[in-house]
């Protein structure tokens, strides 16, 4: 049987609560199926570590992560540290340097849950958002004049390279091609942004030539928000820039029922570096420590991790278990239920046992 070593980085806020839950169900899955073994190694990076050591991560962060097959991440950010310090200290110190350039964010409505859209039922939202994860406004370039008061000026550079756009575009077309509808929507803002966004449009047209069986169209990001709400069934795979897809993925999660179920995979498609899996949501200060965080986003992220590592059958058992739990209306408050994080975790473990025996 295959063995995997996973770096677990729960970090801040509800991160530890949801990562604990995901580890518990994955360990249950491994014990039940016996088709693979998995070992989680706790890494204490986060705000407590920062307050102790002055750093969010160890100096050799990349080398440490390269010793694992993948990483499972919770969330970073604390009320008493400026968000740009915490995020650049930890999460953004990993995504860019490890070249995890494809951020894949699937979205769908689970059985037994409700979309805020009046006419959307299970199956009506089934999207894969592909987020460019290394460029754009997240390249870390820019500066401030420090002239003070009204003379202060600041820039936030959005960097786009042909190589960076081409590789994510190719990944997105391949993703669309692998799905039944073979449908891709390319999101830009090439009316107002006349450089980088126009390059995106041009590269899309070039890469599209290699995928004649994929139907594709272009949307401006503002109009895209309207289409997501008014005509969700017209969409399947969606690709866009780092910032645009950051925003659209939160919208997509809310349309599917809750930010508490939205997973993400930060992939290095070349597989030179380990990939990192995490919920889309953040530290959720308002519910931290209350035991009600929805663990589904992190459990689904762990399923995506298993799938990426090659354990597709195990990933399917895990997601079938989550679906059954939703169908039985064992839901946390964000989905309108009154179950706790632990209730959902226990219910998923019970389903794994049932499905695992049936297998
Ligand atoms: P957030 O995602 O933490 O919370 C937004 C809302 O969604 C809150 O009401 C929260 O309670 C709810 N929510 C989030 N996850 C939930 C879950 N699993 N179950 C139930 N409800 C859930 O976004 P925010 O408030 O903008 O950010 C809080 C902090 O987290 C900030 O420091 C921010 O920078 C950071 N953040 C980190 C990440 C990350 O590490 N990947 C992502 C987003 C935000
Ligand atoms: C996300 C988060 C991060 C991002 C933040 C916390 C840096 O919002 O993963 O969606 O903007 O990428
Ligand atoms: Mn986000």
Pairing state between β 237-240 and 183-188: parallel
358 vs 142: which has the higher pLDDT: 142
Instruction: Please indicate, yes or no, whether residues 268 and 187 belong to a single structural domain of this protein.
Output: no
The token duo for 358 is 């049936």
CB under 5 Å of ion ligand 3: residues? 246
Determine contact, residues 58/45, Cβ cutoff 8 Å.
yes
Give 158-168 pLDDT, tens digit per residue.
999 999 999 99
Instruction: Please indicate, yes or no, whether residues 347 and 269 belong to a single structural domain of this protein.
Output: yes
Domain count, the chain: 2
Instruction: Please indicate, yes or no, whether residues 322 and 275 belong to a single structural domain of this protein.
Output: yes
Instruction: Please indicate, yes or no, whether residues 123 and 228 belong to a single structural domain of this protein.
Output: yes
Q: 74, 78, 280, 284: which to mutate for ligand 1, most atoms within 8 A of CB?
A: 284
Beta pairing partners, 187: 219
User: Residue 56 belongs to what domain range?
Assistant: 1-100+262-359
The token duo for 270 is 């070349």
Cα angle at 58 between 57 and 61, to 5 degrees?
Answer: 85
The Cα-based distances of 35 to 32, 319, 359 in angstroms read 9, 16, 12
pLDDT at residue number 146: 84
By alpha-carbon position, which residue is closest to atom 9 of ligand 2?
Answer: 280
pLDDT at residue number 359: 64
Q: Is the dihedral of CA 257, 21, 307, 327 positive or negative?
A: negative
Ligand number, closest to the Cα atom of 247: 3
Is pLDDT of 149 > 90? Answer: no
Q: Is 260 in the pocket of ligand 1 (CB under 6 A)?
A: yes
Instruction: Please indicate, yes or no, whether residues 156 and 249 belong to a single structural domain of this protein.
Output: yes
Q: Which atom, in ligand 2's list, is nearest to the CA of 76?
A: 6
Instruction: Please indicate, yes or no, whether residues 72 and 132 belong to a single structural domain of this protein.
Output: no
By alpha-carbon position, which residue is closest to atom 36 of ligand 1?
Answer: 282
Distance CA 262, CA 295 (A): 10
- Fill in the DSSP letter of residue 58: -
pLDDT at residue number 41: 98
Distance (angstroms) between ligand 3 centre and the Cα of 353 equals 34
Distance CA 321, CA 89 (A): 35
Query: Of 306, 270, 291, which Cα lies nearest the Cα of 339?
Result: 291
The token duo for 224 is 């895209």
Residue 334 within any structural domain of the chain: yes
Instruction: Please indicate, yes or no, whether residues 229 and 278 belong to a single structural domain of this protein.
Output: no
Give 17-52 pLDDT, tens digit per residue.
999 999 999 999 999 999 999 999 999 999 999 999
Distance CA 115, CA 217 (A): 25
Is pLDDT of 178 > 90? Answer: yes
Q: Is 87 in the pocket of ligand 2 (CB under 6 A)?
A: yes
Distance CA 237, CA 216 (A): 9
Instruction: Please indicate, yes or no, whether residues 4 and 123 belong to a single structural domain of this protein.
Output: no
Is pLDDT of 55 > 90? Answer: yes
Determine contact, residues 54/85, Cβ cutoff 8 Å.
no
156 sits in the region (left: phi over 0; alpha: psi -120 to 50; else beta) called beta
Average pLDDT over residues 80-99: 96
pLDDT at residue number 50: 98
- Fill in the DSSP letter of residue 159: B
Confidence of residue 357 (pLDDT cuts 50, 70, 90): confident
Instruction: Please indicate, yes or no, whether residues 311 and 352 belong to a single structural domain of this protein.
Output: yes
Distance CA 123, CA 222 (A): 24
Residue 110 within any structural domain of the chain: no
Pairing state between β 275-279 and 70-75: parallel
Q: 86, 89, 282: which to mutate for ligand 2, most atoms within 8 A of CB?
A: 282
pLDDT at residue number 147: 87
Average pLDDT over residues 280-287: 98
Residue 3 within any structural domain of the chain: yes
Instruction: Please indicate, yes or no, whether residues 240 and 278 belong to a single structural domain of this protein.
Output: no
Confidence of residue 212 (pLDDT cuts 50, 70, 90): very high
- Mention every residue, 6+ apart, whose C-beta is less than 8 A from residue 220: 187, 188, 189, 190, 191
Q: Where are the beta strands (DSSP E) in the chain?
A: 2-11, 36-42, 70-75, 102-108, 126-132, 142-144, 154-156, 183-188, 215-220, 237-240, 263-267, 275-279
Boundary (domain end) residue, out of 196, 228, 256: 256
* Whole-number average pLDDT of the chain: 97
Q: 87, 139, 264: which to mutate for ligand 2, most atoms within 8 A of CB?
A: 87
Boundary (domain end) residue, out of 231, 256, 281: 256
By alpha-carbon position, which residue is closest to atom 4 of ligand 2?
Answer: 246
Instruction: Please indicate, yes or no, whether residues 247 and 124 belong to a single structural domain of this protein.
Output: yes
Determine contact, residues 176/237, Cβ cutoff 8 Å.
yes
């088709």: which residue's tokens?
35
User: What's the Rg (C-alpha) of the chain?
Assistant: 20
Average pLDDT over residues 246-270: 98
Q: Is 91 in the pocket of ligand 2 (CB under 6 A)?
A: yes
pLDDT at residue number 156: 96
Ligand number, closest to the Cα atom of 133: 2
Q: 78, 246, 284: which to mutate for ligand 2, most atoms within 8 A of CB?
A: 246
Boundary (domain end) residue, out of 237, 256, 275: 256
The token duo for 49 is 């570590």
By alpha-carbon position, which residue is closest to atom 31 of ligand 1?
Answer: 77
The token duo for 326 is 């939703």
Q: Which atom, in ligand 1's list, is nearest to the CA of 90?
A: 40
130 phi/psi in degrees, rounded to 5: -110, 115
Give 180-205 pLDDT, tens digit per residue.
999 999 999 999 999 999 999 999 99
Instruction: Please indicate, yes or no, whether residues 248 and 143 belong to a single structural domain of this protein.
Output: yes
Q: Is 94 in the pocket of ligand 2 (CB under 6 A)?
A: no
């Amino acid at each position: 049987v295959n063995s995997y070593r996973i770096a677990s980085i729960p970090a801040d806020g509800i991160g530890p609560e949801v990562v604990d839950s995901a580890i518990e169900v994955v360990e249950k899955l491994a014990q039940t199926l016996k088709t693979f073994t998995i070992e989680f190694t706790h890494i204490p990076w986060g705000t407590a570590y920062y307050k102790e050591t002055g750093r969010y991560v160890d100096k050799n962060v990349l080398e440490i992560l390269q010793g694992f097959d993948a990483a499972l991440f919770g969330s970073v950010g604390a009320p008493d540290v400026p968000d740009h310090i915490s995020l650049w200290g930890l999460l953004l110190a990993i995504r860019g340097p490890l070249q995890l350039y494809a951020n894949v964010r699937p979205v769908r409505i689970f059985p037994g849950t409700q979309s805020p859209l009046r006419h959307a039922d299970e199956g009506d939202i089934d999207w894969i958002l592909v987020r460019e994860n290394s460029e754009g406004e997240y390249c870390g370039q820019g500066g401030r004049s420090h002239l003070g008061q009204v003379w202060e000026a600041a820039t936030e550079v959005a960097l786009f390279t042909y190589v960076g756009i081409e590789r994510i575009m190719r990944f997105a077309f391949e993703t669309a091609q692998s799905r039944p509808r073979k449908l891709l929507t390319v999101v830009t803002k090439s009316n107002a942004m006349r450089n980088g966004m126009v390059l995106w449009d041009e590269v899309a047209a070039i890469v599209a030539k290699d995928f004649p069986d994929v139907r594709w169209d272009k949307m401006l990001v503002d109009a895209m928000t309207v289409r997501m709400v008014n005509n969700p069934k017209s969409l399947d795979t969606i690709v866009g820039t780092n910032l645009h897809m950051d925003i659209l993925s939160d919208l997509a999660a809310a349309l599917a029922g809750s930010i508490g179920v939205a997973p993400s995979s930060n992939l290095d498609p070349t597989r030179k570096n380990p990939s990192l899996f995490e919920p889309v949501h953040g530290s959720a200060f308002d519910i931290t420590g209350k035991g009600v965080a929805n663990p589904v986003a992190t459990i689904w992220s762990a399923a995506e991790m298993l799938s990426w590592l090659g354990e597709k059958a195990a990933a399917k058992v895990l997601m079938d278990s989550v679906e059954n739990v939703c169908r039985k209306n064992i839901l946390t408050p964000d989905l309108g239920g009154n179950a706790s994080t632990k209730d959902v975790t226990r219910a998923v473990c019970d389903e794994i046992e049932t499905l695992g025996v049936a297998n």
